[in-house]
Amino acid sequence: MEASSVILMGFTASLCASMGTTVGSLGVLTIRHLSRRMEDGLLSLAAGIMLAATFFSLLLPALDHATADYNSEMLSAFVVALGVLLGAGTLFFIHQRTPHEHFKTGREGASASRLSRIWLFVIAITLHNFPEGLAVGVGFAGGEITNGISLAVGIGLQNIPEGLAVSVALLSVGYSPMRSAMIGIASGLVEPVGGLVGAVAVSTMAAFMPWALAFAAGAMLFIISDEIIPETHQNGNQNLATFSLLFGFVIMMILDVALA
Ligand SMILES: [Zn+2]
């Protein structure tokens, strides 16, 4: 398959996946409030989908490509392991440097600390949409259309609760419903950017493919472990969070098998 069509597919698919964020964000116009319990459950569901997408649509293809490239399963495992650690390490580095403090300025009706907590959450979701887009973009590597589509569907699905959570959080600190929805939608626009970067990387340098898939997997694992799981286990909803994650995982696993 031509490099240009892989790039076009990767970009279009990641743009479609970001529509999930749009749908979820617009949900704020009807669903004005989410209980903490509901929010923890929804975000855990998203994390479960991300987790399964990481394994079935990124790590397995990464290992396949690497084994074909290097003619050795052992070497393939090492390359993919290194790629995962690089992806996670890069995200860690970016996280350390994100200037969250910029958003501490107060606003009427909400305490400064609550406002900055909400903005931290908005930034966190926005940031994590980049590796998600990257994942979708690299998912089409080598013209593997079904793999790319199953990733785009899974990522798109888990964007719905994420977009809703972002917009409802903004509404709760005093932004108007329309503004909350718009900021939520904007947080999803990072995704096609990631998609384009990923698709260009894998289609211009074939040797880069297992690395890119593994890198995206590491970035996703970092976010799930560093952000979503601790966040959703903080408010006494651990059991719900755990089972929502498992439920999201099996949904994505079934989706992956069904589309393959
Ligand atoms: Zn996500």
In the reported structure, the alpha carbon of residue 216 is separated from the centroid of ligand 1 by a whole-number distance in angstroms of 13
d(CA 19, CA 25): 10
46, containing H or E segment: helix 36-53
How does DSSP classify residue 30?
Answer: T
In the reported structure, the alpha carbon of residue 21 is separated from the centroid of ligand 1 by a whole-number distance in angstroms of 10
d(CA 260, CA 244): 24
In the reported structure, the alpha carbon of residue 72 is separated from the centroid of ligand 1 by a whole-number distance in angstroms of 33
d(CA 231, CA 57): 25
Closest CA to 200 of 34, 4, 30: 4
Cβ density class 221-254: b for 16+ within 10 Å, e for less = bbbbebbbbebbbeeebeebbeebbeebbebbbe
In the reported structure, the alpha carbon of residue 104 is separated from the centroid of ligand 1 by a whole-number distance in angstroms of 25
Res 112: pLDDT? 67
In the reported structure, the alpha carbon of residue 206 is separated from the centroid of ligand 1 by a whole-number distance in angstroms of 27
Tens of pLDDT, residue by residue, the chain (260 residues): 677 888 899 999 999 999 999 999 999 999 878 888 888 888 898 889 889 888 988 898 889 889 988 888 999 999 999 999 999 999 888 877 765 433 333 344 456 677 777 787 788 788 788 888 988 998 887 778 888 898 899 999 989 988 998 898 888 888 899 999 999 999 999 999 999 998 998 888 777 888 888 998 998 899 889 888 888 898 889 999 999 999 989 998 888 888 76
d(CA 168, CA 93): 29
Tens digit of each residue's pLDDT (9 = 90 or more) over 85-133 = 999 999 888 877 765 433 333 344 456 677 777 787 788 788 788 888 9
Query: What count of other Cβ atoms lies within 10 Å of the Cβ of residue 186?
Result: 15
Tens digit of each residue's pLDDT (9 = 90 or more) over 10-28 = 999 999 999 999 999 999 9
Instruction: Please give the structure tokens belonging to residue 51.
Output: 């987790």
**Tokens 């600190």 identify what position?**
173
Res 110: pLDDT? 54
In the reported structure, the alpha carbon of residue 135 is separated from the centroid of ligand 1 by a whole-number distance in angstroms of 11
Angle at 187 between CA 44 and CA 124, to 5 degrees: 50
Q: How far is residue 104 CA from its own chain's centroid?
A: 25
Q: Cα separations (Å) of 66 from 44, 83, 112, 203, 223?
A: 31, 11, 49, 15, 24
84, containing H or E segment: helix 73-97
